């Protein structure tokens, strides 16, 4: 009887200990990982622009007029010459980021988009002063008629972003990880300005030409901890000013909806701490 009682007690103890043991086996031991993370990515984009005004000021010529409610389009390039020309010819972009708080998913990012804006050819409404005389008319805006307006080497958005990252999914072996990133920032515009109005061309070149603000949401899939693919939807507002034209300047503001696909690498950096 005593042996039976003792055996029952042992069985009960084993039954109670088994779940604890099983849980301990499933629980990952705490490991030390790097506190921060550095990443870099490169890819290509496409965009759509709101309608906008292009205002021209040429005091020496007596001109102060505006092309009203004009349309613009991009020039992708990657759908034509991606594998036959330099990587920087198409509409490209890069991201350089640093996650300074991995637990909270907070980081900072340098965010550059080589976008292209081209004034669409067609009838354009012009209003203001031309050769010191009032003008309110429609002209045929085309290269053959002496008109073109390109931010084709590019419109060039540079942003300094704050980044917030949320983990969506992570496989058990950590070889696949899905994150959502929200980004917002402000920065300068660095357009390449090339244009002609009434047959008078400017001297094309790059310049600091205003400022822009932007927000974006990105879905990032990371494979084997280091390689990731990131798809982004972005909204940007760009306000250009002091753009160089023949004997004067131009200004313009427009909104942009942009889609970006990037391939990148991510590296843990900094001191180690327990997960």
Query: Kind of pairing, strands 63-70 and 117-119?
Result: unpaired
3-state secondary structure of 199: coil
The C-alpha torsion from 137 through 141 and 144 to 147, rounded to 10°, is 100
Which residues does residue 100 pair with via DSSP β-bridges, in sequence order? none
pTM: 0.85
From residue 71, give the alpha-carbon distance in Å to each of 75, 77, 116, 148.
14, 20, 13, 13
Buried-exposed string 219-237: b where 16+ CB fall within 10 A, e elsewhere: ebebeeeeebebebebebb
Break the chain into its structural domains and give their ranges. Answer: 36-274
Question: What was the pLDDT predicted at 34?
Answer: 72
Question: What was the pLDDT predicted at 29?
Answer: 56
Q: How many CB atoms lie within 10 A of CB 78?
A: 18
d(CA 156, CA 209): 10
Q: Which CATH architecture group holds 36-274?
A: Beta Barrel (2.40)
Question: What was the pLDDT predicted at 275?
Answer: 58
Tokens coding 5: 């009682």
- CB–CB of 243/261 below 8 Å? no
Question: What was the pLDDT predicted at 32?
Answer: 67
Q: Which residue from 25, 50, 7, 108 is spatially nearest to 238, judged by alpha carbons?
A: 50
Question: What was the pLDDT predicted at 9?
Answer: 52
Measured between alpha carbons, how far apart are the two ends of the chain, in Å? 51
With a cut of 70, list the residues of the chain below it in pLDDT.
1-32, 274-275
């Amino acid at each position: 009887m005593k042996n039976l009682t003792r055996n029952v007690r042992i069985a009960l103890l084993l039954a109670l200990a088994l779940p604890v043991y099983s849980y301990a086996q499933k629980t990952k031991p705490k490991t030390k990982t790097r506190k921060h993370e550095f990443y870099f990515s490169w890819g290509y984009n496409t965009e759509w622009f709101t309608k906008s005004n292009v205002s021209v000021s040429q005091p020496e010529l007596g001109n102060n007029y505006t092309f009203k409610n004009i349309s613009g389009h991009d020039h992708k390039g990657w759908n034509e010459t991606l594998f036959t020309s330099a990587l920087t010819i198409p509409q490209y972009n890069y991201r350089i980021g640093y996650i300074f708080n991995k637990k909270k998913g907070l980081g900072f990012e340098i965010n550059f988009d080589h976008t292209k804006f081209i004034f669409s050819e067609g009838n354009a409404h012009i209003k203001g002063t031309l050769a010191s005389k009032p003008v309110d008319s429609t002209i045929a805006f085309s290269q053959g008629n002496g008109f073109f307006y390109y931010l084709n080497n590019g419109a060039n958005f540079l942003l300094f972003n704050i980044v917030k990252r949320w983990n969506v999914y992570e496989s058990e072996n950590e070889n696949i990880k899905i994150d959502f990133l929200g980004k917002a920032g402000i920065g300068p515009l660095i357009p390449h300005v090339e244009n002609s109005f009434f047959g008078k061309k400017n001297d094309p070149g790059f310049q600091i030409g205003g400022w822009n603000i932007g927000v974006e949401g990105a879905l990032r899939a990371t494979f084997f901890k280091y390689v990731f693919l990131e798809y982004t939807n972005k909204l940007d507002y760009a306000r250009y000013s002091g753009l160089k034209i023949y004997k004067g300047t131009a200004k313009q503001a427009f909104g942009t909806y942009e889609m970006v696909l990037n391939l990148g690498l991510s590296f843990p950096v900094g001191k180690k701490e327990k997960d």
